[in-house]
Amino acid sequence: MKTPLINYFVLLLVFGLLSACTQALIIEDRNNTDKFALGISGRIIDAQGELATGTYVYAYRNLRSNLRGPADFEAQVGKDGHYFLDLVEGNYYLVARMRHTGADAGPPKSGDAWALPATNPVTVKPGEVTTVNFILQGISQPMLMREGTLTSGDTGFTGLLIGVDGQPLAGAFVIAYPEANFQRMPETTSPAVGKDGRFHLYVERIGQWCLAARTRTRGQPIAGELYGLLGTKETGCRNTVSGQLIDVGTIRLTPYRQ
């Protein structure tokens, strides 16, 4: 009669050991989930260098929507200022937005902030997590997020935007054309400037660029809009130098006269 009792305790011991091993394996797998991650991650800060919690990063498969409307994928920035987009390999167009209302959807409005990566699209390679960091740019009004708008780089122009009173003009931005015909759609734009009025226009192409500055984002300048040129005709054009941000000085914006 003692044998069955001994066998019973032996079985309990075996099942206990198996259960412990199984739990250990599960814990080990959970601790190593990062090695199976695939997508895009990074850190987001604002213009003052503070963590931009509450920001959303959106990924689009193409530019048909001009980075507007519902995205194909989105991720919210955590309390540590980081985000992670769980994606398969491929190319994705990214934009980061922080709405002052805290919402995760809706058109950009005054008081919001946004940022684009240094280059779009961003490539996710098999078995890798691609790192993309953002620095948010404040806007004074909705921005037209053109494909040619870069928020970082090492080639382009810098300078100061001032208003009629000679003070820095926050919210204005620079537009650039390959020729001195400022009536066409610009090829690239700068992010809106902050309180210091300092602009940074990054370009991907080496060559001539003709610069203007304005405060509205759509269509031709209208009467009364603050608008300015670096110079008239060809005097408002500069050539880029690879790897340099050329200081072009000050652009003064005054009410536009048609």
pLDDT of res. 210: 95
- The string of pLDDT tens digits covering residues 164-196 is 999 998 878 899 999 988 877 888 888 778 778
pLDDT of res. 67: 75
* Residue 140 CB neighbour total at 10 angstroms: 17
What number of H helices and E strands is found in the chain? 1, 19
pLDDT of res. 217: 64
pLDDT of res. 22: 29
Residues (pLDDT < 70) of the chain are 1-36, 66, 100-111, 138-151, 217-218, 258
pLDDT of res. 187: 86
Instruction: Identify the burial level of 8 via C-beta atoms within 10 angstroms of its C-beta, where 0-12 means exposed, 13-18 middle and 19 or more buried.
Output: exposed
φ and ψ of 229, to 5 deg = -115, 150
pLDDT of res. 68: 75
Q: Using CA atoms, how far apart are residues 219 and 209, in angstroms rounded to an integer?
A: 20
pLDDT of res. 247: 97
pLDDT of res. 253: 95
| Domains in the chain with CATH codes | 36-138 (2.60.40.1120), 156-255 (2.60.40.1120)
**Contacts with 103 (C-beta within 8 Å, 6 or more apart), sequence order:** none
**Contacts with 49 (C-beta within 8 Å, 6 or more apart), sequence order:** none
Looking at the chain, list the stretches that DSSP marks H as alpha helix, in order from N- to C-terminal side: 2-31
> Parallel, antiparallel, or unpaired: how do β-strands 188-189 and 173-177 relate?
antiparallel
- The string of pLDDT tens digits covering residues 94-110 is 988 887 666 666 555 55
